[in-house]
Amino acid sequence: VFDLPQLYTKPSAVDLLDALELLCVELPSWDEESENPPGKKSQRPRVRSEGVTQYLTSIISSPLAWIRDESEQERVWERASLRLSERSGRTAMVAMTRTFRIQPLNHEIPQQNLDMIIHEPTLTADNLGWKTWASAFVLARRIFYWHFQKSESPFTLSSGPILELGAGTGLVGFAASAILGREVLLTDLPNIVPNLQRNSGLNKDLIESRGGEATVAVLDWTDPTKVFDYHEGRVPVQKSVDLFDTIVATDSVYSTEHGMLLANTVTAWLSRKPEARVVVELPMRVAYQKEITNFRDCFERVGLKVVDEGKDVGRDDWGDDFEVEEVRCWWSVWTWA
């Protein structure tokens, strides 16, 4: 157990920075496998958790007068503030880049991993698409499972491009492109797309090495027939896009309006071929059961029907200190009735 250097001893900036590094809240793994298998001990020393918040606050409020280098003082204050924000819940967390390890859902499938790098900007209530949600992670894993169980996969009916609606950070679309070796067009609102473009660059080499291709565009569900090319610093230009045989969407319904908006957008872009499919994964949050029921009604109203469905269990780190919680999700596959 590592005891933190106390301020009354006037520790050096190096000692304080080393201690603050040990207080970093490690991002939890969403994998079912432990990061430290049996018999393998963590290399990081344990730090007593009691009073950590008070300790960080004392550093931030201290003039650190014994540290003569002002730039070193600033580094200590900045690092202490970062450690404090990590303990204030996901909405207080600064921007971060993390790796999601995608594995097939079924343990009987030969072990394979796909590491996707995802940048998540500082989260705000207006930009929930900047966080990677549990439903995206489990759908990415389900697509990996379907890749091995081709008889069950809705993705084997067509080899054409895939459209993702409300792509958010892009985990599902990028994973699908890499797993299936297919072209995927990831779309979202104008304020979400810049980060989506950034994540496209982070995963470009992996996707292309597996025969896939991922592109990013703006698609606003309130004007569902138009898709715009995105290039940072330029005015978006409407692009010509063909209909898609396969559309995917995750965690896209968190208001009653979203059900019909999503249904209308699917109607605008889903081909009328017999093999046309829409794959949706939604978290079964108690507070949003009305919205999920409405979503189902809206899809049926525009002429779609469920051909397959099931339940998944995912994980999320929305709470304080990134505590991982189980999230039950519902996946469904739709086609024209």
For residues 253-266, average pLDDT: 92
Q: What are phi and psi of 109, to 5 degrees?
A: -75, 140
Which residues in 111-236 belong to E strands, given as ranges? 114-120, 162-165, 183-188, 213-218, 228-229
% pLDDT > 70, the chain: 81
pLDDT at 106: 64
Sorted by sequence, the CB contacts under 8 Å of residue 71 that are 6+ apart come out as: none
Structural domains in the chain, sorted by start? 7-87 (no CATH), 96-336 (3.40.50.150)
Nearest to 79 by CA among 11, 3, 6, 25: 25
Q: How far apart are CA 118 and CA 96, in angstroms?
A: 8
**Across 237-253, average pLDDT:** 90
- Between 40 and 4, whose confidence is greater? 4
pLDDT over 70 at 302, yes or no = yes
Interval 131-176: pLDDT, tens: 788 899 999 999 999 988 888 899 998 899 999 999 999 999 999 9
- Measured CA to CA, the distance from residue 170 to residue 1 in angstroms comes to 39
Model pLDDT for residues 304-327, shown as the tens digit of each residue: 999 999 999 887 766 555 566 788
Sequence-separated (6 or more) residues with CB below 8 Å from residue 51? none
Check residue 36 and give its pLDDT. 37
- Supply the pLDDT for residue 255: 83
**Residues near 115 by Cβ (< 8 Å), separated by ≥ 6?**
99, 100, 101, 102, 206
Measured from the Cβ of residue 131, the count of other Cβ atoms closer than 10 Å reads 20
Three-state secondary-structure class, residue 177 = helix
Mean pLDDT value of segment 200-228: 95
Collapsing DSSP to helix, strand or coil, 158 comes out as coil
Summarize the confidence of residues 76-97 as an average pLDDT. 74
d(CA 258, CA 253): 5
Looking at residue 288, what DSSP letter applies?
G
